Structures are given as structure tokens and as C-alpha cells.
Amino acid sequence: MDTNEFKEFAKSMADFIGNYLDNIRDRRVLPTVEPGYIRPLLPETAPEEGEKWQAVMDDLEKVIMPGVTHWHHPQFHAYFPTANSYPAIVADMLSGAIACIGFSWIASPACTELEVIMLDWLGKMLDLPAEFLACSNGKGGGVIQGTASEASLVALLGAKAKALRKAKELEPDTPEAVLTSNLVGYCSDQAHSSVERAGLLGGVKLRSVAAGDDYRLRGEALRTAIREDKEAGLTPFFVVATLGTTNCCAFDDLDEIGTVCRDEDVWLHVDAAYAGSAFICPEFRPLMKGIEKADSFNFNPHKWMLVNFDCSAMWLKDPNYVVNAFNVDPLYLKHEQQGNAPDYRHWQIPLGRRFRSLKLWFVMRIYGVKGLQAHIRRQVALAKQFECLVLKDNRFELVCPASMGLVCFRLKGSNEMNEILLKKINSHGTIHLVPSKIKDKYFLRMAVCSRFCQPADMELAFNEVASLASELTSILS
Ligand code: PLP
């Protein structure tokens, strides 16, 4: 493909993308294909001779679109949002063109330097304590991870390295394997499964502590668990607090948990994967009270801040524990500026990394802080609107008050009835929801996801739920 063909291809793709997103409402939000649907639509082997780009474009509607779940459809209300914006899409094109692998500063200085500054911009937008920011000229700084799962693992490995160093000083004759087997970390029983996975991958015990009736982990429950484990001879070393749980967007009491972590000299990591974006709005920041007591903080601009996947922002007050935990230093990766700027390969699991900060730069500049705040506030208001509709229909109950862009609700009655209702909703295909369960109570989650979502879409979503509930109750009665 020569440059002129590329330009035509890219323009044609830009048209396709614009039309796809403008007309996304006309598509069925959840596809109806069966597993294996693509095989009969494609040749058995790759073509021997290169094809024209037009032939590839022609196949998008035939092959790909029938099997796409349209996450940006205004009636997609499953999981949590994943971001999509034109500035981020265009930034990804440039990242693809530069196509550097920015593992060290010299591997592409702009890739590292823009990332340092974008994480400072973003940290200031959230009003993070200065200790987290590179511009404070302390040890702290930010990094873009691929996902919140990686951030939790990286934090856990940093905490493990710190705890083992301390344990070795106290017990120099005890084998490292024994010291490691004594380590124990904590999260609430509402934490995301990726936190449990970080414990498994990191080879340490992770104890799940029961959240309160309001689904929030409180300081006292954590303090009790730590005391019990210390009495049993274990070494508490790591706590994950969740701000915006996946089940129902509950906020652990960070202030209380932070105090316990300080008292016990335990690393505190904050997982705000979804809800962290809301902290760009000052009115939501009381929910992050106590953030100054955390050692690491993470949220996903790729969920709710209009930066396409993948872009998970993580800040560390002292990255040295992480840097030293994974430090391998072959000659072919060394360079003369080592020590004068971060080499991000030491802050993450893989070696390679894309130029992801371009997406943040484009999005923050083109939307501005005010534009991004308006996006968050609009979606929170839409969730409130849906909550009001639920409350007006006395067949339904809320599991908890709407939180951020999430409403958790159910038909009053059995789990089975709610399971049938959800099946009906998803097979009808007008809207898409997923369920969750807390303490054996099954419920439906309505997440405001698409940036195209309007008040009329909330009415439509609720009317769909209500009319399918009427069908269900008339069958059952
Ligand atoms: N933490 C929380 C609270 C989440 O809600 C999620 C996903 O929804 C994750 C972590 C995992 O995010 P990621 O896919 O970026 O690893």
C-alpha cells in the first residue's frame, strides 16, 4: 500500500466510523449470532495475493458488524462504560504511525515525557496530593498501565518487595519463602475479582473482609482482621480499598482504612477503576477523603473519561519499591540518561508499551476540564432520572441508592423472577443489562454507558423493563 492509497483508505475508514457512530441507534445492541458464525464467512486460508483495501472495507458490514456488541449504543447498559471519543481515536492513529515501543526514555523520549506530564495534569484535575505528582519534585509520579488489574498487581508486588525487605531486616535468618508465606493482604468482599487474582499471581494470601450492610468496607472490620492475623503469626502488608465497587458502586471508607494502614505500616492501594473519573468534579471528592494516606492510586480514564481503551492511570508515592521489585538490567536496554527520567519498563509487567499518553493529551485538550466534567455530570443525572422512574413503580425496589452512573434495582420478589426478567430483557434485544448478586440477592444493574445517552433513552430503558415485567407477571399470575 502506498501513501496515497493509505490516505484514501484512512479517509474511507473515518467516514465509516463517523457513520457507524452517528447511526449506532439503528443497530441491535446485542448481536444474535451463534458461536462459530464467522468461519463460513471467511476463506479457509489467508489470500496468496494481496487484495484491494476496498474489498476489506466491503466485508466490514458482512463479516464483522453482525457479531459486534455495540458498547456505544445508547441502550447498552451492561458492565461499566468503556470510553469512546473522536480525539482518542485520532490519537490512536498517530500512536500507530509513530509505532514506538517506549520501554525506556531513550526508546522514544516524547513517549515517556508526555506521559509524565499528562499524569501530572490528570492528577491535578483530581486534586491528588502533591506527593503523587512528578512535578512536586519528590519521589512520586504517575504511569499509564493497560488495565486496573495490572495496576493492582503492580501495587501488590511493590508492597511485597517493601514488606520482604523489612521482614529480612527483622529476621535475617528466616528463609525468604517462609517470610513470603507469612504475608497477608486485605480487600473487601466487594472488591473486583482482579484483586483476588493479583494475590494469586503475586503468590501471597489475600483475605477478603466483609463489607458493612451498605457494602462499604470500614476501618474497624479491617483492624479486627489485621489483629487476628497478627495474633496468628502472619505479617499484614497490603490493603486494597475500592472506590466504586463493581457490584453496586459502593465506596469503601478510605479515611478510616487509611488510618488503619498508617497505624499498621501497611501499603494502601486504591482501586477507583470506574468511579475515579468522577473526582475531576469537586462535588464528588468527599468520597476520596483520606487519599493522602494511600501509597498508590489507580483509575481507568478508559472507562469513564472518554479515552479509548487502554488507558489506566496509576500514581505511586514512592515508585522505587516497584522499580526495584522487577529490576533487570540487560546491556541492550541501558542508556546514558538512566536515572535522569523514568524508564517505564520498570513500572509495569511487560517490557513493551504503546504511546498511550497521546490519547490523554488529545482528549484533555479538545474536551477541556469543563467538557469532561460536563460528561460525568450528565451521566450521573441520567442515572438519577432512571432511579426516579424505578422508585415511581412500586413493583420495583432499589438495592442501594443510585451511585454515579449506576442504578441497581430488582423486582420485589424472588431471585428467580428477576433472572427470568433479565433473560426476557436481553433476548428482546432493545436494551442490554447484566445482573449482579450480593449476599444471595440477585439484581439488575443499569449503567449509563454511551456518551450518546439522552434523557429519552432512560425513559425508553425503563419502559422496556416495566413492560417486560408486566408480561412476566401476567404469565405468572
Ligand atoms: N476494579 C474495579 C472496581 C472494576 O470495576 C473493574 C472492572 O470493571 C476492574 C477493577 C478491572 O478493570 P480492568 O479491566 O481495567 O482490569
Question: For all residues of the chain together, what is the average pLDDT?
Answer: 96
Q: Are strands 441-447 and 434-438 parallel, antiparallel or unpaired?
A: antiparallel
Q: Is the pLDDT of residue 142 over 90?
A: yes
How much is the pLDDT for 475? 75
Distance CA 326, CA 348 (A): 8
Task: Quote the ligand 1 centre to 291 CA distance (angstroms).
Answer: 19
Q: pTM of whole model > 0.90?
A: yes
Listed residue (164, 115, 105, 165) closest to 142, CA to CA: 115
Question: 440-444, long-range: CB within 8 Å, 24+ apart, which pairs?
Answer: 440/415, 441/399, 441/410, 441/415, 442/410, 442/415, 442/418, 443/399, 443/408, 443/409, 443/410, 443/418, 444/408, 444/409, 444/410, 444/418
Assess whether pLDDT exceeds 80 at residue 477. Answer: no
DSSP track, 203-218: TSEEEEE---TTS---
Which value, to the nearest 10 degrees, does the dihedral of the CA atoms of residues 229, 235, 240, 241 take? 50
- Which of 149, 152, 269 to probe ligand 1 with, by most ligand atoms within 8 A of CB? 149
Mutate to test the pocket of ligand 1, among 195, 197, 300, 403 (most ligand atoms within 8 A of CB): 300
Q: Tell me the per-residue pLDDT of 234-259, one tens digit each, with 9 for 90 and over.
A: 999 999 999 999 999 999 999 999 99
User: Given the DSSP bridges, would you call strands 406-411 and 312-316 parallel, antiparallel or unpaired?
Assistant: unpaired
Give the nearest ligand 1 atom to 149 CA: 16
Which three-class secondary structure state does DSSP give residue 312?
A: strand
The Cα–Cα gap between 450 and 71 comes to: 7
- Confidence band (pLDDT; 50, 70, 90) for 105? very high
Helices 455-476 and 415-428, axial angle in degrees (round to 10) = 120
Amino acid at 174: T
- Give residue 163's pLDDT band: very low, low, confident or very high (50, 70, 90): very high
Distance 145 CA to ligand 1 centre (A): 12
Q: List, for residues 277-305, the tens digit of each pLDDT value.
A: 999 999 999 999 999 999 999 999 999 99
Residue-wise pLDDT for 332-353, tens only, equals 888 888 888 888 988 888 899 9
Q: Is the pLDDT of residue 410 over 90?
A: yes
Contact in structure between 183 and 175 (CB atoms under 8 Å): no
Read off the pLDDT band of 154 (50, 70, 90). Answer: very high
What nine digits make up the cell of 152?
493492582
The residue behind cell 441520567 is 382
* Strands 267-271 and 296-299, bridge-based pairing: parallel
Backbone angles phi, psi at 445, to 5 degrees: -115, 125
Confidence of residue 328 (pLDDT cuts 50, 70, 90): confident
Interval between CA 211 and ligand 1 midpoint (Å): 18
Q: Which pLDDT value is given to residue 73?
A: 98
Half-sphere exposure of 302 (CA within 13 A, CB side): 18
271: CA distance to ligand 1 center in Å?
8
303 lines ligand 1 (CB under 6 A): no
Q: ipTM of the predicted structure?
A: 0.98
Q: What is the mean pLDDT of residues 403-429?
A: 96
Domains in the chain, CATH or no CATH each: 101-354 (3.40.640.10)
Cβ–ligand 1 contact at 253 (below 6 Å): no
